[in-house]
């Protein structure tokens, strides 16, 4: 298995979070992690080895380089786990814990494992995930763990697996966890990290004491050192002393916490951020602030261009500049992510310096651009010369795709951020973005359907329909509500969640009636009949099929009326009401005759014969089955003929004619063999 990734905030397929990241100063912590991996647990020493994998925890403040350290360790030991490395980020940008259902679903997708239907209960999903991990040897890397319970749901019950977790503090309650606490790096390593960022300039080399003062002012935090080092590199004439003075004179943006002395420990990360961000030109600073709006912290030139209204070329140049300053991580060619430690600072800046109306407008522009890109992503899968491909050719070049493969790669890379965009628009749009959200959900669903198999697309489509339902209910859009409920009910029914499906079908029917959606109101009663039939409640199934039949009769659709007669009759027979079932099958046979459908009439008459046999009327059953066989011959349907021959054999047996029964049975088996060849 190749290395897999499930990054809700950083949708990259394996590798380091930032290809240009300079890793230094963590030898002691790496040795600690190696020792913890090799040492036996207390249970093993006592002869009671734990039934689950070991958990190694890297704990530290945001900006301390905790994820970089964990990534370095994961790369070092990944070769011991032949089934690959799985990654999951368990906290969304904005600080909200990722629901277990999302994490488990995405981990199963990364494993290429099935068995968990869309909309499955979180407990069922984690059970399927544990089952998959129990027979594999994988390394599970969980970044930004918010709580012990969140991690405990994912720990494999397999000693051959390993979990590496990253969190701000201890995760008490997780069994067999080995914590590795970390703060700033040692001073020599901090100076070395600054030198790596400043480049060939001798400023740090000629005056090591002042370089140490600058590192101290950064709190020896790798994230702060990278930002300040990048900022200093962009100012070749600025001395280290002046740089230190400017950094120390920069407020960190947080009020004093007070105390008896009126002082507090400075927030080194916030101070470095405000120094670097405050030095940016106004357009670049504004773009940086608006990156807090980027779904899942993921951004490319098209996203950034839409957020601030600048050109894609200007946006890409600015993103490269922000990356050079340590304000962004590189995720993939042309794509960047906001470091998790900077996300709250960006959000605070956005709230303080931008009006809510401007933020809402930026969201709208970004969603509009995303919808257009999704249309192009789907259109490239259409045949050449189709209306969709013609429309695609007229789109601006940066929005188009040259091939279906390119479009699929684009969709898969951005899948977490696209789904996050939809979730955020629902949660934070408060109705203002609902029209755009409806278009986004529709476009996303069509894209997944175009680039994936129905089974692959089902989980995302289910999530999107749930979001569409939230919007429809918020805006009292009954047609949209009916459509979303019907789609969710169909997927619930396919997954075997029949009680939930029945409830949603009934709610969908109410919504369809309220908006006078005749098509949905006609379809749903039959689905309710199917659901009650699968539940074994044939009386209600017959009732709902009967309602569907009445609606089809009102619509004047004789072929559907004939088909529904069969469904009603079958439900009546299964409910033990053979008299009503006989009358309904005869009505179906008469309608098929008027429609000149010999195959349909043959099936209906065959069912009449079966019921007559059950009621102890063998002579009538023989006549009905012979007439049915004649209709099947007229239709030239060998499978139906074989079925009716077997039915005649059963009737002849019941009538005391074993010779005729054997003849019909032999003929039926011969016809069946011919059709199977």
pLDDT of residue 169: 87
Percentage of residues in the chain with pLDDT exceeding 70?
A: 91
Asked whether residue 24 carries a pLDDT value surpassing 80, the answer given is no
CA–CA distance, 259 with 80 (Å, rounded to integer): 50
Higher-confidence position of 518 and 74: 74
The SS3 assignment for 81 reads coil
Task: Provide the pLDDT for residue 50.
Answer: 60
Q: Note the pLDDT of residue 7.
A: 39
Question: Encoding tokens for residue 513?
Answer: 């009636």
Is residue 359 within 8 A of residue 286, CB to CB? The reply is: no
Give the model's pLDDT for residue 115.
59
The secondary structure of the chain in percent helix, strand, coil, rounded to multiples of 5, reads 65, 5, 30
DSSP letter string over 507-543?
Answer: HHHHHHHHTT-HHHHHHHHHHHHHHHHHTT-HHHHHH
Q: How confident is the model at residue 40 (pLDDT cuts 50, 70, 90)?
A: low
Q: Is the dihedral of CA 564, 565, 570, 571 positive or negative?
A: positive
Tally Cβ neighbours within 10 Å of residue 260.
Answer: 5
Residues 6+ apart with CB under 8 A from 225: 190, 193, 194, 197, 215, 218, 272
Question: What local confidence, expressed as pLDDT, does residue 1 receive?
Answer: 40
Strand order from edge to edge, sheet including 335-337? 298-300, 335-337, 329-332
Give residue 257's pLDDT: 33
- Residue 211: the pLDDT is 93
pLDDT, mean over the chain: 87
Length of the chain in terms of residues written: 677
28-60: burial string, b at 16+ Cβ within 10 Å, e else: ebeebbeebbeeebeeeeeeeeeebbbbbbbbb
The pLDDT tens digits for 579-623 are 999 999 999 999 999 999 999 999 999 999 999 988 889 889 999
pLDDT greater than 60 at residue 41: no
pLDDT at 507: 96
**Does the pLDDT of residue 9 top 50, yes or no?**
no
pLDDT given for residue 471 in this prediction: 87
Inter-helix orientation angle 122-134/100-111, to 10°: 40
Q: Are 661 and 645 in contact (CB under 8 A)?
A: no
Q: Which residue has the higher pLDDT, 44 or 603?
A: 603
pLDDT for the residue 3: 41
Does residue 44 have a pLDDT over 70?
no
What's the rounded mean pLDDT across residues 478-487?
A: 93
pLDDT band at 266 (very low <50, low <70, confident <90, very high): low
pLDDT tens digits, one per residue of 352-403: 999 999 998 999 999 999 999 999 999 999 998 898 888 888 888 888 999 9
The answer to whether residues 2 and 84 touch, using CB atoms and an 8 Å cutoff, is: yes
Six-digit token string for 147: 């709580």
């Amino acid at each position: 298995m190749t290395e897999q990734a499930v990054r809700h905030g950083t949708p990259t397929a394996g590798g380091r979070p930032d290809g240009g990241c300079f890793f230094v100063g963590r030898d002691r912590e790496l040795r600690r992690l190696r020792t913890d991996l090799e040492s036996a647990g207390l249970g093993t020493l006592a002869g009671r080895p734990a039934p689950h994998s070991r958990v190694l925890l890297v704990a530290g403040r945001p900006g301390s380089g905790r994820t970089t350290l964990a990534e370095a360790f994961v790369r070092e030991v990944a070769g011991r786990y032949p089934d690959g490395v799985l990654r999951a980020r368990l906290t969304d940008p904005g600080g909200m814990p990722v629901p277990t259902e999302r994490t488990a679903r995405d981990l199963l997708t990364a494993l290429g494992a099935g068995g968990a239907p869309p909309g499955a209960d979180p407990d069922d999903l984690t059970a399927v995930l544990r089952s998959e991990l129990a027979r594999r040897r994988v390394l599970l890397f969980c970044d930004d763990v918010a709580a012990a319970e969140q991690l405990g749901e994912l720990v494999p019950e397999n000693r051959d697996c390993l979990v590496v977790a990253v969190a701000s503090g201890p995760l008490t309650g997780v069994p067999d966890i080995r914590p590795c606490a970390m703060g700033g790096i040692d001073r020599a390593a901090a100076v070395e990290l600054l030198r790596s960022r400043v480049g060939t300039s001798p400023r740090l080399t000629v005056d090591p004491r002042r370089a140490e003062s600058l590192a101290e002012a950064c709190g020896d935090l790798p994230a702060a050192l990278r930002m300040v080092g990048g900022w200093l590199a962009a100012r070749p004439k600025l001395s280290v002393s002046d740089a230190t003075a400017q950094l120390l004179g920069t407020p960190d943006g947080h009020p004093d916490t007070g105390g008896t002395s009126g002082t507090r420990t400075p927030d080194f990360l916030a101070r470095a951020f405000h120094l670097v961000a405050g030095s940016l030109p106004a357009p670049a600073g504004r773009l940086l602030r608006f990156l807090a709006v980027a779904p899942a912290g993921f951004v490319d030139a098209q996203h950034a261009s839409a957020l601030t209204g600048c050109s894609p070329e200007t946006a890409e140049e600015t993103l490269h500049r922000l990356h050079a300053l340590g304000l962004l991580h590189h995720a993939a060619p042309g794509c960047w992510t906001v470091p998790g430690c900077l996300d709250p600072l960006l959000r605070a800046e956005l709230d303080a310096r931008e009006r809510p109306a401007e933020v809402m407008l930026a969201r709208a522009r970004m969603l509009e651009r995303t919808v257009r890109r999704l249309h192009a992503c789907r259109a490239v899968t259409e045949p050449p010369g189709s209306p969709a491909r013609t429309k695609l050719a007229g789109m601006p070049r940066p929005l188009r795709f040259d091939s279906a493969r390119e479009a699929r790669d684009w969709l898969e890379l951005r899948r977490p951020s696209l789904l996050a965009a939809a979730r955020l628009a629902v949660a934070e749009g408060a109705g203002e973005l609902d029209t755009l959200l409806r278009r986004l959900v529709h476009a996303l669903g069509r894209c997944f359907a175009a680039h994936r198999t129905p089974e692959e697309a089902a989980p995302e489509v289910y999530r999107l329909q749930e979001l569409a339902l939230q919007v429809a209910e918020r805006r009292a859009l009954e047609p949209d509500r009916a459509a979303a409920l019907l789609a969710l009910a169909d997927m619930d029914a396919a997954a075997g969640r029949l009680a939930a499906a029945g409830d949603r079908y009934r709610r969908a029917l109410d919504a369809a009636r309220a908006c006078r959606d005749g098509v949905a109101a006609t379809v749903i009663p039959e689905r309710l009949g199917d659901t009650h039939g699968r539940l074994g409640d044939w009386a209600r199934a017959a009732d709902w099929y009967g309602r569907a039949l009445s609606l089809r009769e009102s619509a004047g659709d004789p072929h559907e009326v004939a088909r529904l007669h069969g469904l009603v009759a079958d439900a009546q027979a299964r409910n033990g009401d053979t008299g009503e079932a006989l009358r309904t099958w005869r009505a179906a046979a008469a309608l098929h005759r008027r429609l000149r459908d010999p195959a349909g009439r043959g099936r209906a008459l065959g069912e009449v014969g079966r019921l007559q046999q059950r009621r102890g009327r063998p002579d009538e059953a023989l006549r009905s089955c012979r007439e049915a066989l004649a209709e099947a011959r007229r239709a030239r349907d060998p499978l139906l003929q074989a079925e009716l021959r077997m039915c005649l054999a059963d009737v002849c047996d019941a009538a005391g004619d074993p010779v005729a029964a054997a003849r019909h049975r032999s003929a039926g088996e011969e016809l069946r063999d011919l059709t199977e060849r």
